[in-house]
Structure 1
Protein backbone atom coordinates (compact mmCIF):
# COMPACT_ATOMS: atom_id res chain seq x y z
CA UNK A 1 0.00 0.00 0.00
CA UNK A 2 1.46 3.33 -1.00
CA UNK A 3 1.33 6.59 0.88
CA UNK A 4 -0.24 8.23 -2.19
CA UNK A 5 -3.39 6.13 -1.76
CA UNK A 6 -3.91 6.79 1.93
CA UNK A 7 -5.39 10.31 1.97
CA UNK A 8 -8.32 9.15 -0.19
CA UNK A 9 -9.13 6.26 2.15
CA UNK A 10 -10.75 6.95 5.53
CA UNK A 11 -9.46 3.64 6.88
CA UNK A 12 -6.37 1.61 6.04
CA UNK A 13 -5.25 -1.47 7.97
CA UNK A 14 -1.89 -2.86 6.88
CA UNK A 15 -0.75 -6.23 8.27
CA UNK A 16 -2.47 -5.50 11.58
CA UNK A 17 -2.10 -7.98 14.40
CA UNK A 18 -3.64 -7.86 17.86
CA UNK A 19 -2.48 -10.10 20.68
CA UNK A 20 -4.05 -9.82 24.13
CA UNK A 21 -2.93 -11.38 27.40
CA UNK A 22 -5.02 -13.97 29.21
CA UNK A 23 -4.63 -16.30 32.17
CA UNK A 24 -3.84 -19.11 29.74
CA UNK A 25 -1.26 -17.03 27.86
CA UNK A 26 -1.29 -14.61 24.90
CA UNK A 27 -4.32 -14.82 22.60
CA UNK A 28 -3.93 -13.89 18.93
CA UNK A 29 -7.06 -11.94 18.02
CA UNK A 30 -6.04 -10.44 14.67
CA UNK A 31 -3.44 -12.13 12.50
CA UNK A 32 -2.17 -9.83 9.77
CA UNK A 33 -5.33 -8.05 8.63
CA UNK A 34 -5.24 -5.88 5.49
CA UNK A 35 -8.22 -3.66 4.71
CA UNK A 36 -8.78 -0.45 2.77
CA UNK A 37 -12.12 1.36 3.02
CA UNK A 38 -12.62 4.05 0.39
CA UNK A 39 -14.49 7.31 0.86
CA UNK A 40 -18.24 6.67 0.80
CA UNK A 41 -17.82 2.88 0.60
CA UNK A 42 -20.11 0.64 2.63
CA UNK A 43 -18.32 -2.47 3.88
CA UNK A 44 -19.90 -5.35 5.81
CA UNK A 45 -17.61 -7.53 7.94
CA UNK A 46 -18.96 -11.01 8.58
CA UNK A 47 -17.69 -14.23 10.14
CA UNK A 48 -18.26 -16.57 13.07
CA UNK A 49 -18.14 -15.40 16.69
CA UNK A 50 -14.55 -14.96 17.81
CA UNK A 51 -13.23 -14.37 14.31
CA UNK A 52 -11.99 -10.85 15.16
CA UNK A 53 -14.75 -8.73 13.62
CA UNK A 54 -15.32 -6.42 16.60
CA UNK A 55 -11.58 -6.21 17.24
CA UNK A 56 -11.13 -5.01 13.66
CA UNK A 57 -13.50 -2.12 14.41
CA UNK A 58 -11.81 -1.41 17.76
CA UNK A 59 -8.40 -1.16 16.12
CA UNK A 60 -9.68 0.82 13.13
CA UNK A 61 -11.44 3.34 15.36
CA UNK A 62 -8.41 3.74 17.60
CA UNK A 63 -10.07 2.17 20.64
CA UNK A 64 -7.50 -0.65 20.74
CA UNK A 65 -3.82 -0.40 19.83
CA UNK A 66 -2.57 -3.02 17.37
CA UNK A 67 0.30 -5.23 18.48
CA UNK A 68 1.95 -4.90 15.07
CA UNK A 69 1.16 -3.50 11.65
CA UNK A 70 -0.28 -0.09 10.86
CA UNK A 71 -3.76 1.33 11.32
CA UNK A 72 -4.43 4.65 9.60
CA UNK A 73 -7.57 6.69 10.16
CA UNK A 74 -7.99 9.58 7.72
CA UNK A 75 -4.32 9.15 6.80
CA UNK A 76 -3.08 9.40 10.40
CA UNK A 77 -1.04 6.56 11.87
CA UNK A 78 -2.98 5.81 15.05
CA UNK A 79 0.12 4.42 16.76
CA UNK A 80 1.64 7.90 16.68
CA UNK A 81 -1.27 9.40 18.64
CA UNK A 82 -2.06 9.06 22.33
CA UNK A 83 -5.58 8.34 23.55
CA UNK A 84 -6.55 12.02 23.56
CA UNK A 85 -5.10 12.48 20.09
CA UNK A 86 -7.10 9.55 18.76
CA UNK A 87 -10.26 10.99 20.33
CA UNK A 88 -9.59 14.35 18.69
CA UNK A 89 -9.05 12.65 15.33
CA UNK A 90 -12.38 10.82 15.60
CA UNK A 91 -14.31 13.87 16.78
CA UNK A 92 -16.69 15.00 14.06
CA UNK A 93 -15.07 12.67 11.51
CA UNK A 94 -15.64 9.10 12.74
CA UNK A 95 -18.57 7.82 14.78
CA UNK A 96 -19.57 4.53 16.34
CA UNK A 97 -22.83 2.67 16.89
CA UNK A 98 -22.87 -0.45 19.06
CA UNK A 99 -25.25 -3.33 19.63
CA UNK A 100 -25.84 -2.24 23.24
CA UNK A 101 -26.83 1.40 22.41
CA UNK A 102 -24.62 2.95 25.16
CA UNK A 103 -26.98 5.83 25.87
CA UNK A 104 -26.47 7.84 29.06
CA UNK A 105 -29.36 6.77 31.32
CA UNK A 106 -29.66 10.06 33.17
CA UNK A 107 -30.05 12.11 29.97
CA UNK A 108 -33.05 12.51 27.69
CA UNK A 109 -32.93 11.52 24.04
CA UNK A 110 -32.18 15.07 22.93
CA UNK A 111 -29.51 15.47 25.60
CA UNK A 112 -27.85 12.20 24.53
CA UNK A 113 -27.57 13.53 20.99
CA UNK A 114 -26.70 17.14 21.90
CA UNK A 115 -24.01 16.49 24.52
CA UNK A 116 -21.30 15.16 22.15
CA UNK A 117 -22.00 18.11 19.83
CA UNK A 118 -21.59 20.54 22.73
CA UNK A 119 -18.33 18.88 23.77
CA UNK A 120 -17.08 19.30 20.20
CA UNK A 121 -17.97 23.00 20.32
CA UNK A 122 -20.85 22.81 17.84
CA UNK A 123 -23.25 25.74 17.70
CA UNK A 124 -26.98 25.22 18.26
CA UNK A 125 -26.31 21.69 19.50
CA UNK A 126 -29.79 21.22 20.94
CA UNK A 127 -31.43 22.37 17.72
CA UNK A 128 -29.25 20.01 15.68
CA UNK A 129 -30.11 17.17 18.07
CA UNK A 130 -33.83 17.80 17.69
CA UNK A 131 -33.49 17.88 13.91
CA UNK A 132 -31.65 14.55 13.82
CA UNK A 133 -34.09 12.91 16.21
CA UNK A 134 -36.84 14.05 13.86
CA UNK A 135 -34.99 12.47 10.95
CA UNK A 136 -34.99 9.11 12.73
CA UNK A 137 -38.69 9.42 13.57
CA UNK A 138 -38.42 10.42 17.22
CA UNK A 139 -39.72 13.99 17.28
CA UNK A 140 -42.28 12.92 19.86
CA UNK A 141 -39.70 11.32 22.16
CA UNK A 142 -37.23 14.18 22.67
CA UNK A 143 -37.58 14.39 26.44
CA UNK A 144 -37.86 10.68 27.12
CA UNK A 145 -35.11 8.88 29.00
CA UNK A 146 -33.58 5.64 27.65
CA UNK A 147 -35.58 3.45 30.04
CA UNK A 148 -38.75 4.97 28.59
CA UNK A 149 -37.79 3.97 25.04
CA UNK A 150 -38.01 0.64 23.23
CA UNK A 151 -34.87 -1.06 21.98
CA UNK A 152 -35.50 0.16 18.46
CA UNK A 153 -36.04 3.72 19.68
CA UNK A 154 -32.85 3.60 21.72
CA UNK A 155 -30.87 2.45 18.70
CA UNK A 156 -32.37 5.25 16.62
CA UNK A 157 -31.23 7.73 19.29
CA UNK A 158 -27.76 6.16 19.11
CA UNK A 159 -27.81 6.47 15.32
CA UNK A 160 -28.86 10.14 15.52
CA UNK A 161 -26.11 10.78 18.05
CA UNK A 162 -23.51 9.16 15.79
CA UNK A 163 -24.54 10.98 12.62
CA UNK A 164 -25.45 14.42 13.99
CA UNK A 165 -21.84 15.58 13.62
CA UNK A 166 -21.96 14.50 9.95
CA UNK A 167 -18.98 12.13 10.14
CA UNK A 168 -17.09 10.85 7.11
CA UNK A 169 -16.94 7.31 8.55
CA UNK A 170 -19.40 5.32 10.64
CA UNK A 171 -18.35 2.17 12.48
CA UNK A 172 -21.36 -0.02 13.34
CA UNK A 173 -20.83 -3.12 15.48
CA UNK A 174 -23.89 -5.39 15.24
CA UNK A 175 -26.20 -2.34 15.03
CA UNK A 176 -29.34 -4.48 14.79
CA UNK A 177 -28.18 -7.39 16.95
CA UNK A 178 -30.47 -6.57 19.90
CA UNK A 179 -33.58 -5.91 17.80
CA UNK A 180 -36.41 -8.05 16.49
CA UNK A 181 -36.71 -8.63 12.74
CA UNK A 182 -39.08 -5.82 11.82
CA UNK A 183 -37.36 -3.28 14.06
CA UNK A 184 -33.94 -4.33 12.79
CA UNK A 185 -35.04 -3.79 9.19
CA UNK A 186 -36.36 -0.32 10.04
CA UNK A 187 -33.14 0.71 11.79
CA UNK A 188 -31.06 -0.70 8.92
CA UNK A 189 -33.10 1.29 6.39
CA UNK A 190 -32.46 4.46 8.37
CA UNK A 191 -28.76 3.78 8.74
CA UNK A 192 -28.14 3.09 5.05
CA UNK A 193 -30.30 6.02 3.97
CA UNK A 194 -28.62 8.54 6.27
CA UNK A 195 -25.09 7.28 5.57
CA UNK A 196 -25.78 7.64 1.85
CA UNK A 197 -27.19 11.12 2.37
CA UNK A 198 -24.03 12.18 4.20
CA UNK A 199 -21.75 10.48 1.69
CA UNK A 200 -20.07 8.73 4.61
CA UNK A 201 -18.19 5.45 4.54
CA UNK A 202 -19.58 2.59 6.63
CA UNK A 203 -17.77 -0.32 8.28
CA UNK A 204 -20.41 -2.63 9.70
CA UNK A 205 -20.00 -5.87 11.64
CA UNK A 206 -23.03 -8.13 11.38
CA UNK A 207 -24.19 -11.73 11.65
CA UNK A 208 -27.19 -10.96 9.44
CA UNK A 209 -26.61 -12.06 5.80
CA UNK A 210 -29.51 -9.91 4.56
CA UNK A 211 -28.04 -6.83 6.19
CA UNK A 212 -24.56 -7.62 4.90
CA UNK A 213 -25.90 -8.00 1.36
CA UNK A 214 -26.87 -4.32 1.36
CA UNK A 215 -23.23 -3.23 1.58
CA UNK A 216 -21.06 -2.43 -1.42
CA UNK A 217 -18.57 -5.08 -0.35
CA UNK A 218 -18.52 -8.01 2.06
CA UNK A 219 -15.33 -8.84 3.97
CA UNK A 220 -15.26 -12.31 5.48
CA UNK A 221 -13.17 -13.11 8.55
CA UNK A 222 -12.13 -16.37 10.20
CA UNK A 223 -9.60 -17.02 12.95
CA UNK A 224 -8.41 -13.41 13.00
CA UNK A 225 -7.78 -13.19 9.27
CA UNK A 226 -9.58 -11.71 6.29
CA UNK A 227 -10.43 -14.70 4.11
CA UNK A 228 -12.32 -12.99 1.28
Structure 2
Protein backbone atom coordinates (compact mmCIF):
# COMPACT_ATOMS: atom_id res chain seq x y z
CA UNK A 1 0.00 0.00 0.00
CA UNK A 2 1.39 3.39 -1.03
CA UNK A 3 1.99 5.82 1.80
CA UNK A 4 0.15 9.17 1.49
CA UNK A 5 1.97 12.14 0.00
CA UNK A 6 3.42 14.38 2.73
CA UNK A 7 1.35 17.56 3.02
CA UNK A 8 4.48 19.71 2.67
CA UNK A 9 7.80 19.20 0.88
CA UNK A 10 10.35 21.99 0.43
CA UNK A 11 13.50 21.28 -1.58
CA UNK A 12 16.49 23.64 -1.93
CA UNK A 13 14.34 26.71 -1.27
CA UNK A 14 16.11 30.01 -1.84
CA UNK A 15 14.66 33.51 -1.71
CA UNK A 16 16.45 36.67 -2.79
CA UNK A 17 14.73 40.05 -2.61
CA UNK A 18 15.81 43.38 -4.07
CA UNK A 19 16.75 46.32 -1.86
CA UNK A 20 18.25 49.77 -2.29
CA UNK A 21 21.62 48.36 -1.25
CA UNK A 22 21.37 45.44 -3.67
CA UNK A 23 19.89 41.91 -3.58
CA UNK A 24 19.31 40.42 -0.12
CA UNK A 25 19.45 36.66 0.35
CA UNK A 26 16.64 35.69 2.75
CA UNK A 27 16.64 31.89 2.37
CA UNK A 28 19.62 29.80 1.28
CA UNK A 29 18.80 26.27 0.18
CA UNK A 30 16.26 25.08 2.76
CA UNK A 31 14.91 21.52 2.76
CA UNK A 32 11.93 20.61 4.93
CA UNK A 33 9.34 17.82 4.77
CA UNK A 34 6.34 17.64 7.10
CA UNK A 35 4.55 14.32 7.50
CA UNK A 36 0.82 13.79 7.86
CA UNK A 37 -0.26 14.83 11.36
CA UNK A 38 3.25 15.96 12.36
CA UNK A 39 3.67 19.07 14.51
CA UNK A 40 6.77 21.11 13.67
CA UNK A 41 8.04 24.24 15.42
CA UNK A 42 10.32 26.60 13.48
CA UNK A 43 12.48 28.70 15.81
CA UNK A 44 15.39 31.11 15.51
CA UNK A 45 16.26 34.79 15.89
CA UNK A 46 14.36 37.56 14.14
CA UNK A 47 15.53 37.90 10.55
CA UNK A 48 16.53 34.23 10.23
CA UNK A 49 13.93 33.60 7.50
CA UNK A 50 11.24 31.78 9.49
CA UNK A 51 8.22 33.74 8.31
CA UNK A 52 9.51 33.90 4.72
CA UNK A 53 9.82 30.13 4.74
CA UNK A 54 6.25 29.79 5.97
CA UNK A 55 4.96 32.19 3.32
CA UNK A 56 6.61 30.10 0.59
CA UNK A 57 5.31 26.85 2.12
CA UNK A 58 1.77 28.23 2.11
CA UNK A 59 2.05 29.44 -1.48
CA UNK A 60 1.83 33.10 -0.50
CA UNK A 61 5.35 33.87 -1.78
CA UNK A 62 7.29 32.36 -4.69
CA UNK A 63 10.85 31.16 -4.07
CA UNK A 64 13.70 32.41 -6.22
CA UNK A 65 14.97 28.83 -6.49
CA UNK A 66 13.87 25.39 -5.37
CA UNK A 67 10.62 23.44 -5.30
CA UNK A 68 7.69 23.83 -2.89
CA UNK A 69 5.04 21.11 -2.95
CA UNK A 70 1.71 21.13 -1.12
CA UNK A 71 0.01 17.72 -1.11
CA UNK A 72 2.36 16.64 -3.89
CA UNK A 73 1.49 19.60 -6.14
CA UNK A 74 4.35 21.82 -7.33
CA UNK A 75 3.23 25.34 -6.41
CA UNK A 76 5.31 26.84 -9.23
CA UNK A 77 2.96 25.16 -11.73
CA UNK A 78 -0.05 27.06 -10.36
CA UNK A 79 -1.14 30.67 -10.70
CA UNK A 80 -2.52 32.60 -7.72
CA UNK A 81 -6.05 31.29 -8.26
CA UNK A 82 -4.76 27.73 -8.58
CA UNK A 83 -2.82 28.01 -5.34
CA UNK A 84 -5.92 29.38 -3.60
CA UNK A 85 -7.99 26.44 -4.87
CA UNK A 86 -5.33 23.99 -3.67
CA UNK A 87 -5.35 25.52 -0.19
CA UNK A 88 -9.15 25.75 0.11
CA UNK A 89 -10.41 23.37 2.77
CA UNK A 90 -6.96 21.79 3.15
CA UNK A 91 -4.73 24.60 4.47
CA UNK A 92 -5.48 27.12 7.22
CA UNK A 93 -3.41 29.93 8.66
CA UNK A 94 -3.28 31.59 12.09
CA UNK A 95 -1.24 34.74 12.63
CA UNK A 96 0.02 36.84 15.53
CA UNK A 97 -2.49 39.50 14.46
CA UNK A 98 -5.88 37.87 14.68
CA UNK A 99 -7.24 39.07 11.28
CA UNK A 100 -10.87 38.75 12.28
CA UNK A 101 -13.35 40.67 10.12
CA UNK A 102 -14.49 43.56 12.35
CA UNK A 103 -18.02 43.79 10.93
CA UNK A 104 -18.76 40.11 11.58
CA UNK A 105 -19.63 38.36 14.84
CA UNK A 106 -17.45 35.56 16.18
CA UNK A 107 -19.84 33.01 14.70
CA UNK A 108 -19.87 34.74 11.31
CA UNK A 109 -16.06 34.92 11.27
CA UNK A 110 -15.83 31.16 11.80
CA UNK A 111 -18.61 30.35 9.33
CA UNK A 112 -17.43 32.62 6.49
CA UNK A 113 -14.63 30.38 5.08
CA UNK A 114 -16.93 27.34 5.28
CA UNK A 115 -19.62 29.19 3.33
CA UNK A 116 -17.08 30.30 0.71
CA UNK A 117 -16.03 26.66 0.33
CA UNK A 118 -19.68 25.70 -0.18
CA UNK A 119 -19.91 23.59 2.97
CA UNK A 120 -23.44 22.82 4.13
CA UNK A 121 -24.35 23.67 7.71
CA UNK A 122 -21.61 26.29 8.10
CA UNK A 123 -23.47 28.05 10.91
CA UNK A 124 -23.90 24.87 12.93
CA UNK A 125 -20.24 23.94 12.41
CA UNK A 126 -19.19 27.42 13.54
CA UNK A 127 -21.27 27.09 16.70
CA UNK A 128 -19.72 23.68 17.41
CA UNK A 129 -16.17 25.00 17.08
CA UNK A 130 -16.86 28.07 19.19
CA UNK A 131 -18.10 25.68 21.87
CA UNK A 132 -14.83 23.74 21.55
CA UNK A 133 -12.84 26.91 22.25
CA UNK A 134 -15.11 27.89 25.14
CA UNK A 135 -16.82 30.84 23.45
CA UNK A 136 -20.43 29.71 22.95
CA UNK A 137 -21.63 32.60 25.08
CA UNK A 138 -19.64 35.07 22.96
CA UNK A 139 -20.67 33.86 19.51
CA UNK A 140 -22.74 36.97 18.73
CA UNK A 141 -20.03 39.38 19.90
CA UNK A 142 -17.92 41.40 17.47
CA UNK A 143 -14.10 41.32 17.61
CA UNK A 144 -13.86 44.70 19.39
CA UNK A 145 -16.01 43.23 22.16
CA UNK A 146 -13.57 40.34 22.73
CA UNK A 147 -10.25 40.20 24.58
CA UNK A 148 -7.04 39.35 22.74
CA UNK A 149 -7.14 35.78 24.03
CA UNK A 150 -10.76 35.40 22.93
CA UNK A 151 -10.00 36.79 19.49
CA UNK A 152 -7.17 34.30 19.01
CA UNK A 153 -9.49 31.47 20.10
CA UNK A 154 -12.00 32.61 17.46
CA UNK A 155 -9.14 32.64 14.91
CA UNK A 156 -8.24 29.07 15.92
CA UNK A 157 -11.84 27.94 15.59
CA UNK A 158 -12.04 29.54 12.14
CA UNK A 159 -8.79 27.91 11.04
CA UNK A 160 -9.68 24.40 12.22
CA UNK A 161 -13.42 24.26 11.53
CA UNK A 162 -12.75 22.92 8.03
CA UNK A 163 -10.48 20.22 9.52
CA UNK A 164 -7.54 21.18 7.28
CA UNK A 165 -4.75 18.74 6.54
CA UNK A 166 -2.20 21.45 7.33
CA UNK A 167 -2.26 24.42 9.71
CA UNK A 168 0.33 27.18 9.51
CA UNK A 169 0.66 29.31 12.66
CA UNK A 170 2.96 32.36 12.67
CA UNK A 171 3.65 33.50 16.25
CA UNK A 172 0.12 32.47 17.35
CA UNK A 173 0.73 33.54 20.96
CA UNK A 174 2.90 36.56 20.21
CA UNK A 175 0.24 39.16 21.05
CA UNK A 176 -0.95 37.46 24.24
CA UNK A 177 0.05 37.71 27.89
CA UNK A 178 1.56 34.65 29.58
CA UNK A 179 -1.71 33.22 30.90
CA UNK A 180 -3.55 33.60 27.59
CA UNK A 181 -0.53 32.31 25.65
CA UNK A 182 -0.53 29.12 27.73
CA UNK A 183 -4.29 28.66 27.30
CA UNK A 184 -4.19 29.23 23.53
CA UNK A 185 -1.16 26.93 23.17
CA UNK A 186 -2.91 24.12 25.04
CA UNK A 187 -6.07 24.63 23.00
CA UNK A 188 -4.27 24.74 19.65
CA UNK A 189 -2.47 21.45 20.18
CA UNK A 190 -5.62 19.73 21.43
CA UNK A 191 -7.71 20.94 18.49
CA UNK A 192 -5.01 20.10 15.93
CA UNK A 193 -5.00 16.55 17.29
CA UNK A 194 -8.80 16.38 17.12
CA UNK A 195 -8.82 17.64 13.52
CA UNK A 196 -5.94 15.34 12.51
CA UNK A 197 -4.03 18.28 11.05
CA UNK A 198 -0.30 18.67 10.54
CA UNK A 199 1.04 21.85 12.14
CA UNK A 200 3.89 24.13 11.14
CA UNK A 201 4.37 27.01 13.55
CA UNK A 202 6.86 29.83 13.79
CA UNK A 203 7.46 30.85 17.39
CA UNK A 204 9.85 32.60 19.76
CA UNK A 205 8.17 30.88 22.73
CA UNK A 206 10.29 27.96 24.04
CA UNK A 207 7.31 26.51 25.93
CA UNK A 208 5.22 26.45 22.76
CA UNK A 209 8.05 24.91 20.72
CA UNK A 210 8.50 22.24 23.39
CA UNK A 211 5.03 20.87 22.59
CA UNK A 212 6.01 20.05 19.00
CA UNK A 213 7.12 16.68 17.65
CA UNK A 214 10.11 18.32 15.98
CA UNK A 215 11.92 21.62 16.45
CA UNK A 216 13.63 23.14 13.41
CA UNK A 217 16.13 25.90 14.22
CA UNK A 218 16.95 28.54 11.61
CA UNK A 219 19.74 31.11 11.42
CA UNK A 220 20.83 33.35 8.54
CA UNK A 221 18.39 31.81 6.07
CA UNK A 222 19.36 28.20 6.73
CA UNK A 223 18.19 25.32 8.89
CA UNK A 224 20.99 24.80 11.38
CA UNK A 225 19.51 21.93 13.41
CA UNK A 226 16.51 19.65 13.76
CA UNK A 227 15.57 17.75 16.87
CA UNK A 228 12.72 16.26 18.80
CA UNK A 229 11.32 18.75 21.29
CA UNK A 230 12.88 18.53 24.75
CA UNK A 231 10.99 16.37 27.25
Counterpart of 1:52? Answer: 49
Q: Give the aligned length.
A: 224
Q: CA deviation at 1:197?
A: 1.1
TM-score (norm 2): 0.95
CA deviations over 1:177-218 (Å, ceiling 9, x no partner) = 000001000000110001111211100100011110110000
**Are 1:145 and 2:142 an aligned pair?**
yes
Tell me if 1:225 matches 2:207. Answer: no
Q: Which residue of 2 aligns with 1:32?
A: 29
Indicate whether 1:180 and 2:174 are aligned: no
Counterpart position of 2:70: 73
Report the secondary structure of 1:104's partner residue.
Answer: coil
The separation in 2 between residues aligned to 1:29 and 1:205, in whole angstroms, is: 16
Q: Deviations over 1:119-174 (max 9, x none)?
A: 00000111111110110000011111111100000000000000000001100000
Q: Report the equivalent of 1:82.
A: 79
Say yes or no: does 1:115 pair with 2:112.
yes
1:3-18 residue pairs with structure 2 within 5 A? Answer: 7-18=4-15
- The 3-state SS of whatever aligns with 1:175 is coil
Runs of 4+ with >6 A deviation: none
Residue from 124, 128, 131 that aligns with 1:131 = 128
Structure 2 partner of 1:189: 186
SS at match of 2:181: helix
Which residue in the other structure is 2:102 paired with? 105
User: What stretches of structure 2 of length at least 5 have no aligned partner?
Assistant: 226-231
Say whether 1:42 aligns with 2:39: yes
Q: CA-atom RMSD, angstroms?
A: 1.0
Q: Summarize the alignment of residues 201-220 of structure 1 with structure 2, pairs less than 5 Å apart.
A: 201-220=198-217
SS at match of 2:59: coil
For 1:159, the equivalent position in structure 2 comes to 156
Shift of 1:27: 1.3
